[in-house]
Chain A
């Protein structure tokens, strides 16, 4: 199974500042035949289902603000939120869909400082 490890577990950032969340997979999620990283990021607010933010490691889902960006390849990935807004308070999960069993990171709780 591919283990996804996020860091940090929690993060407090001031409004308007940058938030960075890291995700490391226990094996590469880069599929060589199409050069795509099978890595997604979800945002989950209290009492709500997860919302897809980023897929293919760096492709923003339709309607997601451009302050959210994803980067990385192979085993190391980053979700960056530039200019943090109050509505960005949530738990963020990375997720590999490279192979079954599909796995998620443990989550990173983002709060306002």
Chain B
């Protein structure tokens, strides 16, 4: 069974940093792209970033470029999102998703809540 478990969320002040992690199991992690998607409270889904299986291709939404860094450790079946210079508008549940070669995200974690507030 595919499992994705996010961690690292919490309350942080504007301008602060957080590092999210996503542990994958039940599949060969190194064979898949991985994606972060977020959802602000009561709002819709917003794609944040995606990384190719070997890390050779990375894409970000415009509003997080230069502030967020997606990375992965295939040996540990783990995905990361380093978030710096956090803003109030980054407040959301952050989901990691397994993404196939065609960019279909077919399995999602339960999410981790990031709250940016003073």
Contacts and interface: CB of A to CB of B under 8 A. Distances in A.
A38 interface: yes
Contact of A50 (B59, B62, B108): B108
Contacts of A20: none
Interface in B35-52: 35, 37, 44-47, 50
B47 A101 contact: yes
The interface centre, meaning the residue of B61, B103, B107, B111 with most chain A CB atoms within 10 A of its CB, is: B103
Interface string A18-61: 00000000000000000000101010100011111001000001
B69 interface: no
A104 B109 contact: no
B111 A104 contact: no
A96 to B, nearest CB: 9
B1 interface: no
Contact of B47 (A38, A52, A102): A102
B104 A102 contact: no
Contacts of B111: 49
Contacts of B107: 52
A48 B108 CA distance: 10
Interface residues of B, number: 21
Interface string B51-88: 00000000101100000000000000000000000000
Contacts of A95: 45
B110 interface: yes
A68 interface: no
Given A101-B61, A102-B50, A52 B44 contact: no
Contacts of A104: 44-47
Contacts of A100: 50, 59
Given A101-B47, A104-B45, 11 more contacts: A38-B102, A50-B108, A52-B104, A52-B105, A52-B106, A97-B103, A101-B59, A102-B47, A102-B103, A106-B44, A107-B45
Interface of A: 38, 40, 42, 44, 48-52, 55, 61, 91, 93, 95, 97, 100-107
Interface of B: 35, 37, 44-47, 50, 59, 61-62, 95, 102-111
